[in-house]
Structure 1
Amino acid sequence: MYNEPIFLQPEFKERIWGGTKLNEIFNYDIPSETTGECWGISGHANGANRIKNGPLQGKTLAEAWSHHRELFDNEEGEEFPLLVKILDSKKDLSVQVHPNDEYARDVEQQNYGKTECWYVIDCEEGAEIIFGHHAKSQEQLAAMVEQSQWNDLLHRIPVKPGDFYYVPSGTIHAIGEGIQILETQQSSDITYRVYDYDRTDKNGEKRELHLDRSLDVTNVPHVNPVLERTQWSEDGIDKEKLVEETYFTVHHWTLQDKSHRITSENYQLFSVLDGEGTLTTDKGIFSFVKGDHFIIPATVESYMLEGTASFITSVSNK
């Protein structure tokens, strides 16, 4: 039986809006000074992580999903369902929107649309996100986009560390400059750009917009999701449920000493936001540090955590 955590090698993505905070905060060996994304837990074809330890060392998470489904409680589906990223926005991201599953299958021939959620790790004072819009109808939305009425259309929200946002498919959104977030999402890389501030890439070209498809998939009117963040202590860990919805359940865990023995009915995804410690299974003791990403497979019957650390954890609900 596979009785140890699966540690994953991050994949990095250079972006026009990226910076160096992934190195400064998490000590990642980033490829450039415009590194925007760390794909920490991914089976996606555009950036599947390699496994760093154990019997499957050197294999990708996608290969593990395809050939060792018992590690994932024999969950159905052609692809690993979730993708966990850390983003560093030195500059504003484009204003964008993502399709739902049905649109992704029908139009993009992809298995998943993209519902996501954001945990704000850190940000500059005065940092903002764009979350939703003020149009009351599809006709008004199309007219405001065509007339570039961005200040009137887009809803801006100031953010601070520890904030959390649930971003269902169809939500117009953008991460503003000076923010680092952990994003838990469906395993999808479909993005429709609505507006990109008329900026150009290194070749002097404006990036492509996708206005027709953006208007197709945007929810009108925008409705802010209602979240009930609940906190409790369990197994020697302070826990907070951030969201529980169709595709995933996401928690924030704080470990301050030593947990009790923890059992789980499903595989769990972990990203270490801060601190360090050890994870113990019947197989042995495994160290983790800030910036690590790992999965506790369904074949691990129980485990213990020890140290001082905080995590974002998630499970698939599909």
Structure 2
Amino acid sequence: MKNKIYPLKFEPIYQYRIWGGRKLEHLLSKPLPKDDPIGEAWILSDRKDHASEVSEGELKGTTITKLMEDYRYEIMGKMGDHFERFPLLLKFLDCNEVLSVQVHPSDDQKEYIPKGDTGKTEAWIVMETSDNSRIYAGLKKGTTKENLLDSIHNKSVSDHLHSFVPKKGDAVFIHSGTVHTLSGAVVFEVQENSDTTFRLYDWDRTDIKTGKPRELQVDKAMACIDFDQVDIGPITPVKSEIIKNAEKLFDNEHFKLWRIKSESEFQAGLKDEPTILICIEGKGSMNYMDTEYTIDKGEVMLLPAIIGQLELKPQEKITLLQIAIPEKK
């Protein structure tokens, strides 16, 4: 007999990164591995090498991969026919130092994507900034393949990158094909379920663990760059007409995302479709089948389609990110 499905929380998966730091321990309750710079916490991941595990309840220890095998239609509802794997990957990033200058392929660039994988469109929401915070998003107008290649050789790549100083709460959309990097910030990231990244430039540094520079993929990166993606800044939030006390930050073919700030009870989730909730400030609780489910700062919760909407009661004030998956056309 199958376990019954319920609101699902997951254990974060910490990732060593050369550019990481230690700030994620203030955001998440799970202790960081000792000493290493931790750049990423994967909070919902259906990847073969890093599959998220349920943290509470009867299904504790079960991976999202196994859940998608056993409960795909309960989780995905009417989208169950379209997705064998969970289609999004969610992370917190601690960009203590600058990331490599990089680009991701689009879904239709199949020759650059591992079999069974997708391209990678992503978006960031800035959680914390510091004195050296900077987001590089898109090229400067007039950048060509030729002068960008020249800049790699003469170490002046940043001269061709559009950049700005972010502030807390900024939301930035990074379409596949966009050259990008960031530094000095903690961000939440939502992206397609892909781990395909091509490094264009890595600031001539060495990895402290290997003593060697990290590998670049200049030819593949160049092939995937959309030179029309220029001068990208923070998006302008739009007040939601369907969710109380919410603003819509992103709405594209891969994900929709709302930011909800509320001191009073509200309906979380959407009818007949899966919804992901990420608490970024405060805490709250929901009742489902006579059981109380809490969500605290730094936690992610998946509401399966079969559950639909639940009343969320904040303890004082809560700030919640709510993510939906658009139907495939």
Question: What is the TM-score normalised by the length of structure 2?
Answer: 0.89
1:69-148 to structure 2, matched below 5 A, reads 69-70=72-73, 71-73=75-77, 74-104=80-110, 107-134=113-140, 135-148=142-155
**Partner residue of 1:172 out of 169, 176, 179:** 179
Which amino acid in the other structure matches residue 319 of structure 2? S
1:150 aligns with 2:136: no
1:186 aligns with 2:195: no
- Supply the distance in 1 between the matched residues of 2:267 and 2:305 (Cα, whole angstroms): 18
Q: Is the 8 A contact 2:138 2:161 kept in 1?
A: yes
Report the alpha carbon displacement of residue 91 of structure 1 after superposing the two structures with TM. 1.1
- Supply the distance in 2 between the matched residues of 1:9 and 1:212 (Cα, whole angstroms): 37
In structure 1, the residue matched to 2:320 is 311
Which amino acid in the other structure matches residue 313 of structure 1? Q
**Structure 1 stretches of 5 or more lacking a match?**
none
Which amino acid in the other structure matches residue 152 of structure 1? D
Which amino acid in the other structure matches residue 49 of structure 2? N
**Length, aligned pairs only:** 316
Query: CA separation of 1:99/1:106 partners in 2, compared to 1, >3 Å: closer, same or farther?
Result: closer
Q: Is the 8 A contact 1:278 1:285 kept in 2?
A: yes
**Which is worse superposed, 99-108 or 298-307?**
99-108
Query: CA separation of 1:301/1:159 partners in 2, compared to 1, >3 Å: closer, same or farther?
Result: closer
Query: CA separation of 1:271/1:212 partners in 2, compared to 1, >3 Å: closer, same or farther?
Result: same
- Supply the distance in 2 between the matched residues of 1:3 and 1:77 (Cα, whole angstroms): 18
**Partner residue of 2:264 out of 243, 257, 282:** 257
Q: Is the 8 A contact 2:162 2:231 kept in 1?
A: no
1:214 aligns with 2:231: no
Q: Is the 8 A contact 1:97 1:214 kept in 2?
A: yes
- Supply the distance in 2 between the matched residues of 1:68 and 1:105 (Cα, whole angstroms): 32
- Supply the distance in 1 between the matched residues of 2:324 and 2:213 (Cα, whole angstroms): 38
- Supply the distance in 1 between the matched residues of 2:240 and 2:187 (Cα, whole angstroms): 23
**Which is worse superposed, 296-305 or 125-134?**
125-134
SS at match of 1:88: strand
- Supply the distance in 2 between the matched residues of 1:186 and 1:104 (Cα, whole angstroms): 15
In structure 2, the residue matched to 1:281 is 288
**Structure 2 stretches of 5 or more lacking a match?**
none
In structure 1, the residue matched to 2:12 is 10
1:210-249 to structure 2, matched below 5 A, reads 210-224=217-231, 227-232=235-240, 237-249=244-256
- Supply the distance in 1 between the matched residues of 2:104 and 2:64 (Cα, whole angstroms): 24
- Supply the distance in 1 between the matched residues of 2:123 and 2:195 (Cα, whole angstroms): 14
- Supply the distance in 2 between the matched residues of 1:76 and 1:43 (Cα, whole angstroms): 15
Query: CA separation of 1:56/1:133 partners in 2, compared to 1, >3 Å: closer, same or farther?
Result: same
- Supply the distance in 1 between the matched residues of 2:267 and 2:26 (Cα, whole angstroms): 33
What are the superposed Cα offsets for residues 174-229 of structure 1, whole Å, 9 maximum, x if unpaired?
011x2000000001111111111111112320000110000000011333569442
**Partner residue of 1:29 out of 21, 28, 31:** 31
**Which is worse superposed, 84-93 or 2-11?**
2-11
- Supply the distance in 1 between the matched residues of 2:239 and 2:66 (Cα, whole angstroms): 36
Report the alpha carbon displacement of residue 262 of structure 1 after superposing the two structures with TM. 6.2
Q: Is the 8 A contact 1:136 1:221 kept in 2?
A: no
**Which is worse superposed, 66-75 or 290-299?**
66-75
Query: CA separation of 1:72/1:183 partners in 2, compared to 1, >3 Å: closer, same or farther?
Result: same
